[in-house]
Amino acid sequence: MVPEQFAIRATDFQLPGQTGFYRGKVRDVYTIGDRLVMVASDRISAFDHVLPRPIPFKGQVLNQLAAHFLQATADIVPNWLVATPDPNVAVGIACEPYRIEMVIRGYLVGHAWRMYQAGNRMLCGVALPEGMCESDPFPEPIITPATKAEEGHDEDISREEIIAQGIVAEADYLKLEAYTRALFQRGTEMAAAQGLILVDTKYEFGRHGDQIYVIDEIHTPDSSRYFYQEGYAERQGRGERQKQLSKEFVREWLMENGFQGLHGQEMPLMPDAFVWEVSNRYIELYEKVTGLSFHKADTQSIMERIRTNIEAYLKE
């Protein structure tokens, strides 16, 4: 069967009271009054490019994962989520976003490791210890913010620069740091219960009235990195790469087929078999991270299902 029959490439609804629309890499966002209606499509991105073929059930996985973690952390800081009227839809409060991402790292991997390898011992104003190896834990998690770029890549920035440039007021920024550490601690505990290590992640915050809210997804494998707890110490002791739970396998397939997002490279077209493999891996990922069973939503007339559920919610 052709995967596209069961997947959402894009939506183009005209919803009652709609005043705005924005299409991100993965989500289609509709503005209705002071509410946002976010449809998690089945698009998948890698190397800052959206791949040509959607992945069945990926949007449902991400939407339900995000809701799971937002609900599990609402006692720490309020979040934007109000309702999930459809497996692929989240409705929430439209907030004015802070123009930074709060990145927090428990381990030396990814961008931080590349900077470290290049000889840098300061990252976003944070001093890094000498003598660390890739995937070693920091003495305590470090916060390395990034600016939210309108175009191009986000850029590292320090706490001092954020405050000095007036990007975030000092009083608010200190609250964002405290929320970031508390959310990461909760995420670490939830991951450990599933035999996982929450390695690093990012949080986005916004303001509505006088209240700070978490906005966007948290602790999903699209926004976070996980290691498997079992065998971590042994792999680290042998100097081996850690086993990750993420969409890294998609990037690896693209690289094997000659694509890394570089100028002049042609993106390969995923065959049906690999599209379904990616779909199954996302479902496995959901179940591993949450400890819950995944129930596939009905994908017959999927667009009509989503529209009907949104409109029924809006009438209420």
- Show the domains of the chain with their CATH numbers: 97-245 (3.30.470.20)
Stretch among 152-161, 217-226, 253-262 having the lowest mean pLDDT: 152-161
Question: In this predicted structure, what is the pLDDT of residue 138?
Answer: 98
pLDDT at residue 115 greater than cutoff 80: yes
Q: Give residue 150's pLDDT.
A: 56
Q: Stretch 24-37: mean pLDDT, rounded?
A: 94
Whole-number pLDDT of residue 244: 87
192-219 tens-digit pLDDT: 999 999 999 999 999 999 999 999 899 9
Paired with 29 in beta bridges are 22, 38
Q: Which of 12-21, 83-92, 218-227 has the lowest mean pLDDT?
A: 218-227
Per-residue pLDDT, 251: 87
Rounded Cα distance between 264 and 21, Å, is 31
Kindly report the CA angle at 206 between 205 and 210, in degrees rounded to 5?
A: 125
Per-residue pLDDT averaged across 125-145, rounded? 97
Q: What pairs with residue 197 in β-bridges?
A: 227
249 band by pLDDT with thresholds 50, 70 and 90: confident
What would the mean pLDDT of 142-165 be, rounded to a whole number?
86
223-240 pLDDT tens trace: 899 999 999 999 999 999
What pLDDT does 105 receive?
A: 98
pLDDT category, 221, cuts 50, 70, 90? confident
| Half-sphere exposure (Cβ direction) of 235: Cα atoms closer than 13 Å | 14
The answer to whether 79 and 215 are in contact (CB under 8 A) is yes
Report the Cα 66 to chain-centroid distance in Å.
8
Confidence of residue 1 (pLDDT cuts 50, 70, 90): low
Q: What is the pTM of this model?
A: 0.90
